[in-house]
Amino acid sequence: MKKFCLVLMTLFAVVSQALAASPVKYNKELDGFDYPFEVKTFNVNSQNKDLKMRYMDIGDKNADKVIVLLHGKNFSGYYWERIANDLLKRKYRVVIPDQIGFGKSSKPNAYQYSFGQLALNTKLLLDSLDIKKFDLVGHSMGGMLATTFAANYSSAVNKLILINPIGLEDYGKYVQFKDVNFFYKNELAKTLDKARNYQKKNYYDGKWSSEYEKLLEPVRGMLAGDDWQVVAWNNALTYGPIFSENIVDRFSQINNETVLIIGTRDKTGPGRGWLKEGVTRTLGDYKNLGINTQKLIKGSKLIELPGLGHMPQFEDYDVFIKAFHQALEQ
């Protein structure tokens, strides 16, 4: 009997080790990856395609205050969890969409990505929820989208809050054109180590933590899954508007109360590796980009976070949330 129990324990240990070593696998819509709140589906016909736009809608549906949170390029709605919980305590209704091509939303094989299109999709979602007026928050690429939304649908936005947005300079002016095949090849060559090293270097000043590692879980699972080619293709397509749309030109069109929250250590500069011949500009100089952008958006306010970079909400949450509350209350 003892020998039998020993065999069972050995088998259990072997199986446990094998399961631990086996990577979690997610498909192109992150089935099996739990978001922090209930995920709902908005069915939208866009560009002659029936697509599913996933989103979280949390808090009192009759709340006086509504806020919409727009994710960046390398993430999706799940990473707003801590900020969303804070907003719930402040009696907000919080809507967090995954844009088409990201997270749990559809990833079409052919789609003309533009910030105008993503803004329209978001507007249609909010219309379906009968949400007419709200504060709008965008981080990183979400800042480019939020700026476009505010310029296109100004009357719907109470306040615009931009957290280390990209697009504060016209990348197309300074970098060589790269077609979708270039980005697709890079995405196909992506590994978890490459993703981690990129974020460690560009987001966190060479530092790393278990919290940062947790944010990589969707990438880890999709890289191990069967749909990475589809995900990689959409990742490649979504680079298009970052380089082709000059968001700087939209800043003068913003009539909404606007607050910029800028971690001044940020050096994010898409296309830095393929500058046009003769270009000497240093892309991603956020210390100056924040100041310049404040001048371009009439009446805007700038909150600088010295020593923090592209992800201030994760690098130092206490410092960030104080600035965020200040932005909400101004």
Q: How many residues does the chain have?
A: 330
pLDDT of 19 strictly over 50: no
Q: Which fold has domain 2-329?
A: Rossmann fold (3.40.50)
Structure token pair of residue 155: 């009357």
* Residue 330 banded pLDDT, cuts 50, 70, 90: confident
Q: What number of H helices and E strands is found in the chain? A: 14, 8
> For residue 219, what pLDDT is reported?
98
Round to whole Å and give the CA distance between 227 and 91.
39
pLDDT of 12 strictly over 80: no
pLDDT tens readout for residues 257-281: 999 999 999 999 999 999 999 999 9
Q: Where are the domains of the chain?
A: 2-329
Around 140, how many Cα atoms within 13 Å sit in the side-chain half-sphere? 22
**Comparing C-alpha atoms, which of 222, 204, 170, 189 is closest to residue 28?**
222
* Residue 21 banded pLDDT, cuts 50, 70, 90: very low
> For residue 3, what pLDDT is reported?
53
Round to whole Å and give the CA distance between 118 and 103.
14
pLDDT of 170 strictly over 90: yes
Structure token pair of residue 311: 């992800």
> For residue 14, what pLDDT is reported?
38
Chain mean pLDDT for the chain: 94
pLDDT of 28 strictly over 50: yes
* Residue 203 banded pLDDT, cuts 50, 70, 90: very high
Q: Strand pairing partners for 49? A: 46
Percent of the chain with pLDDT over 90: 93
pLDDT tens readout for residues 61-82: 999 999 999 999 999 999 999 9
- The per-residue DSSP string of 200-267 comes to HHHTSTT---HHHHHHTHHHHHHHHSS-HHHHHHHHHHTTHHHHH--GGGGGGG--SEEEEEEETT--
> For residue 9, what pLDDT is reported?
47
**Comparing C-alpha atoms, which of 175, 190, 205 is closest to residue 273?**
175
Rg (CA), the chain: 21
pLDDT of 11 strictly over 80: no
Q: How far is CA 316 from CA 257, 266, 279, 284, 311, in A?
A: 26, 14, 34, 21, 9
Q: Which helix (H) or strand (E) holds 30?
A: none
pLDDT tens readout for residues 281-294: 999 999 999 999 99
Structure token pair of residue 13: 């240990």
Structure token pair of residue 178: 């790269």
Quick one: how far is CA 181 from the chain centroid? 23
